[in-house]
Chain A
C-alpha cells in the first residue's frame, strides 16, 4: 500500500524520520530533576554576576561578566529550548538569525566608534 519512498518516511515503530535532514522529530531531553539542577546553576551564575558588581576585579570585570552572560544564554537555548536534542535545522535557523544580528549590530557599533570611546 505504500511506495518505497513513503515507507522510508514512516518507520515501523511509527516514528517519523526527518528524511533529508536525517534526524528524528523526538522529545528527548532532560528529566525534571535535571531541569531543576540546570535552573539552580543559572540562578547561581546570576548571583555571581550580581556579586561581581560589588567586587572590584579590575579589567577582568567585563570579560567575566560577558562570559557568564553567554553561558546563561546558551544553557537556556540548549537545554530549556531543547536545541541540543532537536533536529539541527532548528539550530541553524536560530543561529543564522542570531549571527546575523550580532554581525550587523557590531558593524553598526564600530561605525559609530562605540568601542573607541
Chain B
C-alpha cells in the first residue's frame, strides 16, 4: 500500500483513527500499523460518506473504538499539541490580567468628585452576575463531559446554555457600565474609573469572545464541520471559558468585595 493510499484510508471514517489536520509522521504510521489487518470489515460508529474502502484492513477495530476515541497526539510528548498551546496561552493571559488587576489596585484610591468604589458598586447585583458566570462554568463542564460521552444532543444544549449565561453576564456588565456612566463615572473621570473600566472591560471582551466561540462551535457541530477531534475542540473552548471564570473570581473579590 502506498503512502498516499494509507493517508486516504485513515480518514475514511470506517473506524480508523481520526488524525484531524495533524501532519503525517512516524507515529501516525505506527498507529495505523498497529491496527490488525484482515478480518471482517465493520464500519465504526461514526462512519462518513466515503465508505467505499471497506475491507482495506483499516476497519477491523474493536467495536468500542472509533475515530473520536483519541485526539491527535504529538509524537514527541505524546500529548495534544492543541491542548498544550491552549494552556500556554492561558498561562500568558495570567500576565495580561495580572497587569490590569495590579494597575487597578494601585489606582483604586485615585478618585475625583467623590465617585469611588464604595459609592458606586452595587454588590448584590454583581453577586448575581458572578453566580451566573459560575453556573456557566458548570454548564460548560457538562458540555465537555457530554462531548467525551459522544452525547451530541446534550453537548449542544449545554454549549448553548453556557453561551446564554455568558450573554446574561455581559448584559449585566453593560447595564452596570451604563448606570455608572449616568452617575457621572466616565472612562476619563479619574484614574480609578479608567483602571476599573479597562480591567472589567477587558474581561467582558473575553467573555464576549467566549460566547462567539461557543455559538460558532455549536453551529459547526450542527453542520458537522468541526475539524479534528470533536471532544478535544469542545474541551479547548471549555478551558478558555473556565479561565474567564477564574479571572472573574479574582476580580469579584479584589475589585468589588474588598473596600478601598
Contact = CB atoms under 8 A, between A and B. Distances in A.
Interface string A77-91: 101111000110110
A80 B145 contact: no
A95 B97 CA distance: 15
Nearest to B240: A81
A10 B90 contact: no
Nearest to B93: A97
8 contacts: A18-B78, A42-B137, A43-B134, A53-B259, A66-B253, A76-B246, A80-B141, A100-B94
A27 B231 contact: yes
A78 B236 CA distance: 15
Interface in B127-160: 127, 130-131, 134-135, 137-138, 140-142, 145, 148
A39 B137 contact: yes
Given A15-B70, A94-B91, A35 B257 contact: no
B9 interface: no
* Contact-residue bracket for chain A: 35 or more
A69 B158 CA distance: 26
B98 A105 contact: yes
A53 B245 CA distance: 21
Q: B interface, by DSSP: helix, strand, loop or mixed?
A: helix
Nearest to A86: B83
Contacts of A97: 88, 90-95
A80 B242 contact: yes
Interface stretch (B26-34, B167-175, B183-191, B208-216): B26-34
Given A27-B148, A72-B249, A76-B246, A89 B98 contact: no
Interface in A36-95: 36, 38-39, 42-43, 46, 49-50, 52-53, 62, 65-66, 68-69, 72-73, 76-77, 79-82, 86-87, 89-90, 93-95
B98 A50 contact: no
Contacts of A105: 98-99, 101-102
Given A39-B137, A50-B257, A16 B90 contact: no
B141 A35 contact: yes
Contact of B94 (A35, A43, A90, A101): A101
A96 B95 CA distance: 10
